[in-house]
A and B are shown apart, each in its own frame.
Chain A
Amino acid sequence: MNRAGLIGFAILSIFFLMAVAPWIFAPYDPYIRFTPYAEPGTDHILGTNDMGHDILSELIYSARASLFVGFVAAILATLLGVIIGIIAGYYRGWIEDLLMGVTDIFLMIPKIPMIIIIAAFLGSGIWVLILVFGAFSWTAIARIARSKVLQIRESGFVLSARCLGFSNRFIMAREIAPNLTHIVFPKFMLLAASAMITEASISFIGLGDPSMKSWGVMLSFAFTKGGLLNGMWWWYIPPGIAISVCVMAIALIGYSREKGADIGVRG
């Protein structure tokens, strides 16, 4: 990993720590009510919101939901994409045509409008967001996985695994899949970043789960409860910065691994 990657890794570790054990960092429980609309001061470094919740604590507790949505949705999309890509690339023929045709169809569907529509029907919620994001974001991974599998399946060790009598499933899972890590990982990180931004956007337009603390929800309340109109920058700027920095950290890790992606299995 290069220096940018290490910086990203360091920042992301801090966010992860916040998500796992927010009470270490947060000065208060985010649900304790103080005087609402307090300005930043010694008691409340970032002031309080309309409910009187301490904004800094809220910010720290929100890391969990944002990272959870980001990574779970990305894991879902990556698993789907890798499985579909490997099957298409390994079996080829009509299976490949079918799977890649489906991929092309999914590729055309715009994600965020789709999530808005589905959230409108199914009601908003973190799992709807994760499932819909996962179900519509696997296409890029499926395509790169397939093209890499087409290359790997012709390589000697796959042929010799067949020579040694291994089953197709074993070859796909144990011989081919591990060799995809270095190209899938950067994509996975970028997907996680993208899922976090999607979560923020969806929450911002009010389709998120209002009882949940996430950066997007914070932003949404800052706008609807008059934070912006009253120029309370300590309310709406910090969640924006948190999203940006976290996404940047993830992207830095992703990019740093992408540079090494050319090395690996040849022919």
Chain B
Amino acid sequence: MSRLLDIKNLSVSFVSGEETVRAVTDVSFDLCEDEVLTLVGETGCGKSIIAHAISGLLPPEALVSGEIRYKEKDLQSIPEEERVLLRGCEIGIVLQNPSRALNPLYTIGHQIRETILRHTEKSKEESHGMVAGALRRMGFSDPGIEMKRYPFESSGGMNQRFVIASSTILSPDLLIADEPTTGLDRSRIQDVITEFERIMEEEEMAIILITHDLAVARRLADRIGIMYAGEVVEMGDANRIFEEPYHPYTKGLFGSLPENGCVPIPGVSPPMSRIVSGCRFHPRCGKRTAVCERDHPQLGMIDDRYVRCHLCHSQ
């Protein structure tokens, strides 16, 4: 499988007044075609920032360093118009909060069709047929009715599927889904997961899935990256990590799941404006040693995965 996306040493920070908020520090990963990478972490750990950085949706005041290469193109240096055209056509993006992602004034069919008309030379009738086909594949037995509806006439789960439909209708090579299940109830989450599984099965699409729902991550991910305070702390094969997490934070995260006893990690994640010296997780880590407080650990390979922890490396 060839490499689709290659991110090297990506850092994003925001300067507001005298404070510098380092939202993402030194994140590197790559993504093959047809691979599903899940980024997991607490709120505010910088996972959405990575999605926005790839899609070029960061506000202008964001300071971005590092390299984002998509199909051998450096996304940072290509002109803005080219980048705008990539979005929606080659790079599909699904954001959280589906009900707000649709314009309340237009019908579903109209909104999905606009995407096709924007990027292709297709006629209205052809695009109408494409939308109907996409909705039918998503399990709407009568797309004609759904297409005439307005967003407020449909449920959150349906809207999220419409958003996914409009992001994937042109079969992008890369789909970035930023918390696609947040704000939905259990059965709606199920719909969305089913939808992703169908895409993974039927289409050749690399997916970056950003979530804090570990169950969703476990269902869909080929590879998983655990993030803490703007850094990747553990990254590797999803099944292996779920079976046996190495990093104390990953262990804590899994331990806090209801099925694993619901044991929370003590403390709260540090504010991103004041970076903790040493290992960023050490104030909350039960196994910290002197070296954890002093030295910042590097991401290193252990067995089959990357881990950022002094303890794991010394064992």
Contacts and interface: CB of A to CB of B under 8 A. Distances in A.
Contacts of A167: 84
Contacts of B148: none
Q: Which of A160, A164, A175, A265 has the most CB of B within 10 A?
A: A164
A157 B101 contact: yes
A157 B118 contact: no
Interface residues of B, number: 29
23 contacts: A155-B100, A156-B97, A156-B98, A156-B100, A156-B101, A156-B102, A159-B101, A163-B55, A163-B88, A163-B94, A164-B87, A164-B166, A165-B84, A165-B85, A165-B88, A165-B89, A166-B88, A166-B114, A166-B118, A175-B103, A178-B105, A179-B105, A264-B104
Nearest to B100: A156
A264 B100 CA distance: 12
Contacts of B88: 163-166
Interface string B78-103: 00000011111100111101111111
A166 B57 CA distance: 12
A117 B257 CA distance: 75
Contact of A179 (B92, B103, B114): B103
A113 interface: no
B84 A160 contact: no
Contacts of B97: 156
Q: Which of A93, A165, A166, A178 has the most CB of B within 10 A?
A: A165
Interface in B163-198: 163, 166-167
Nearest to B112: A164
Contacts of A175: 103
Q: Which of B57, B99, B104 has the most CB of A within 10 A?
A: B104
A267 interface: yes
Interface in A83-100: 93
A179 B103 CA distance: 9
B119 interface: yes
Interface string A255-267: 0000000001101
A175 B163 CA distance: 16
B269 interface: no
B115 interface: yes
Chain A contact-residue range equals 20 to 34
Given A160-B101, A179-B103, A267-B100, A165 B87 contact: yes
B85 A156 contact: no
A33 interface: no
Given A165-B118, A165-B119, A166-B118, A160 B102 contact: yes
A161 B102 CA distance: 9
Contact of B57 (A162, A174, A178): A162
A156 B95 contact: yes
B105 to A, nearest CB: 5
B117 to A, nearest CB: 10
Given A165-B84, A166-B118, A265 B102 contact: no
Nearest to A178: B105
A135 to B, nearest CB: 30
Contacts of B57: 159, 162-163
Interface in A119-163: 155-157, 159-163
Given A163-B93, A164-B166, A157 B85 contact: no
Nearest to A159: B95
A180 to B, nearest CB: 11
Contact of B95 (A93, A163, A165, A265): A163
A165 B86 contact: yes
Q: Which of A93, A160, A161, A170 has the most CB of B within 10 A?
A: A160
Contacts of B114: 164, 166, 174
A164 B104 contact: no
Contacts of B60: 93
Contacts of B166: 160, 164
A179 B163 contact: no
Nearest to B89: A165
Given A156-B95, A156-B97, A162 B87 contact: yes
Contacts of B87: 162-165
Contacts of A170: 118
A240 to B, nearest CB: 41
Given A156-B101, A165-B119, A265-B104, 12 more contacts: A156-B98, A160-B93, A163-B87, A163-B167, A164-B167, A165-B84, A165-B85, A165-B86, A165-B87, A166-B114, A264-B104, A267-B100
Nearest to A152: B103
